[in-house]
Amino acid sequence: MAVVADHSKNPHHHGKIEGVEQINLNNPTCGDVISLSVQFDDEGVVKDIAFVNSGCTISTASASMMTDVVLGKSKEEVLELATIFSEMVQGKEDARQDHLGDAAFLAGVAKFPQRIKCSTLAWNALKKAIDAQA
Ligand code: ZN
């Protein structure tokens, strides 16, 4: 799981975006917290994204991987990826997992059910950000 460790140690898009409201979410079962900033363009495409967090390796790595893969994607594409990711970490096989980029490396989370919420925290924060836009 070297890819997971790399993302956890050096998370991508770490920080916040000036002038964008942060979405805060936590995972009480593990103690993971995330503050996500997402900027959409007029077409609803993710133009910029950044997060600050405190949490376990899986939650940090997942947030980093998520920001990489959703940048430049439309809200519809993001929601589809979030669904594919959520099903993957619950053990469901799907060819579309190839579209998840590095996040596909978290498929192994399915073997550790107590880690599922760690891995989906960032994605749930992103869904909340999209809801807030609607
Ligand atoms: Zn966790």
Q: pLDDT tens for residues 42-98? A: 999 999 999 999 999 999 999 999 999 999 999 999 999 999 999 999 999 889 999
Q: Which residue has the higher pLDDT, 134 or 64?
A: 64
Ligand 1 centre and the CA of 77: distance in Å? 26
Residue 22: band (very low, low, confident or very high) from pLDDT cuts 50, 70, 90: very high
User: Element (H or E) spanning 77, and its range?
Assistant: helix 75-89
Ligand 1 centre and the CA of 114: distance in Å? 8
Strand arrangement of the beta sheet that strand 23-27 belongs to: 23-27, 32-40, 46-54
d(CA 98, CA 42): 28
Ligand 1 centre and the CA of 28: distance in Å? 9
Ligand 1 centre and the CA of 42: distance in Å? 34
pLDDT of residue 48: 98
Ligand 1 centre and the CA of 100: distance in Å? 20
The average confidence (pLDDT) of the chain is 96
pTM summary value:
0.96
d(CA 54, CA 21): 18
Q: Buried (b) or exposed (e) across 82-115, using 16+ Cβ within 10 A?
A: bebbbebbeeeeeeebebbebbbbbbebbeeeeb
